[in-house]
Amino acid sequence: MKKELSPSDTVIQNVCKVRKNERVLIIANPHTADIAQDLYTSASNAGARTTLIFQSEKTSFDNAEPEVIAAIATNPDVCISVSACKLGKDAGASAKPYILETGEKFTHIFDYLLEGKKTMRAVWTPGITQDMFSRTVNINYAELAERCRILGTYFKDVETVNVTAPSGTDLTVPVHGRKLLFDDGDFSKAGCGGNIPAGEVFISPLIGNGVDFGCFGKIVYDGSMTFSDGDSIIETPVCCTVEHGFVKEITGGAEAKRLLKTITEAENRAVTMEKEGLLPEGMGAVYRQNARNIGELGIGLNPAAIITGNMLEDEKAFTTCHFAIGENYDNDAPSLIHLDGVVRNPTIVLNYADGSMRTILDKGILQLG
């Protein structure tokens, strides 16, 4: 009988497909040392030239250590961020972004090499725990990839997406021209990367103009939520009224107050950072506005994931979708935050230009037939 791979061997051999003599950089915190050491051993056993470095834990608003940024800038073949919370921002690139020949800007060396230059492949695990790593990594990646592929075909030529849920969510999301992105666990080619645990598809809504275009309706988060002070299961649903792409009102209980506090902090910090020269001139207002942007609609596809109050896993759980407030994945809505929130048992309907419709989730159940 073939022995099942350990989770770290699965990441190195099956997800990243690390080859002999490739350069692998692992960045960790003391809190994630055990997982990072396992990955280091697995990568070294695969013949890679592996480096493991530590930094203190970082929040959504903290900068990564300059030594970490410098290590990423060496352009390793594979970069694995094993963080208790966040990797940390790139202070230099925030003030002076990397710019491609196309004009696309990147405010982090990690994103520039991965998504811009496409010379690196990567894994990032914000909030990973040993329990989560043990339970959610050894899944059927071929099956996951097939779900992602089918959903990718369904999203072609979609104009808008309607999301409703028993909790009260009722949101219309414009996506014309946007591409559905996959976190399918295949990070074997340069320019590819994603979370471990893997298992979602996601798309960036078109940016609203604040006047007469953008996401419109209501999101009622009733699963879990990311805040500046950590992730939590939601006890009292958080209701966000969305108009023309941006959150206008937040109501609920203690979690609603935490969300508003985080957004307000991001708004205020953006203005301060521009004044201090930490953001380019004029970008403070852009970052401030996008602190209320609807930056992502995602669908969980990992059958081993459950809602635990840790967003890294929660957003991958079956029968859920999630919306992020803040920065998006198309690099045209920069913000200091990206706050994911989970909605349970959604119904998701795709609306096409020809007037046809397709339901892809019905009360949380995938409809792939």
Residues 86-114 pLDDT 10s: 999 999 999 999 999 999 999 999 999 99
Mean pLDDT of 293-310: 97
Quote the CA–CA distance of 34 and 36 in Å, as a whole number.
5
pLDDT band at 210 (very low <50, low <70, confident <90, very high): confident
Quote the DSSP letter at residue 187. -
Record the tokens describing residue 123, joined without a space. 């894994």
Per-residue pLDDT tens for 122-178? 999 999 999 999 999 999 999 999 999 999 999 999 999 999 999 999 999 999 999
Per-residue pLDDT tens for 248-297? 999 999 999 999 999 999 999 999 999 999 999 999 999 999 999 999 99
Residue 214 has pLDDT above 80, yes or no: yes
- DSSP helix/strand/coil, 249: strand
Residue 3 has pLDDT above 90, yes or no: no
Quote the CA–CA distance of 154 and 164 in Å, as a whole number.
18
**Domains of the chain, first to last:** 7-130 (3.40.50), 140-366 (no CATH)
- Phi, psi at 133, each rounded to 5°: -60, -40
Residue 313 has pLDDT above 70, yes or no: yes
| Of 176, 107, 84, the residue nearest 335 (C-alpha) | 107
* % of the chain residues with pLDDT over 70: 99
Residue 369 has pLDDT above 80, yes or no: no
Classify the C-alpha dihedral 165-167-168-170 as positive or negative: negative
Quote the CA–CA distance of 14 and 91 in Å, as a whole number.
34
pTM over 0.85: yes
What mean pLDDT, rounded, does the chain reach? 96
Mean pLDDT of 232-254: 97
pLDDT band at 2 (very low <50, low <70, confident <90, very high): low
Per-residue pLDDT tens for 21-53? 999 999 999 999 999 999 999 999 999 999 999
Q: Which amino acid is at 35?
A: I
Record the tokens describing residue 252, joined without a space. 């609920």
- State residue 60's pLDDT score: 83
Residue 1 has pLDDT above 60, yes or no: no
Q: Is the peptide bond before 166 cis (omega within 30 degrees of 0)?
A: no
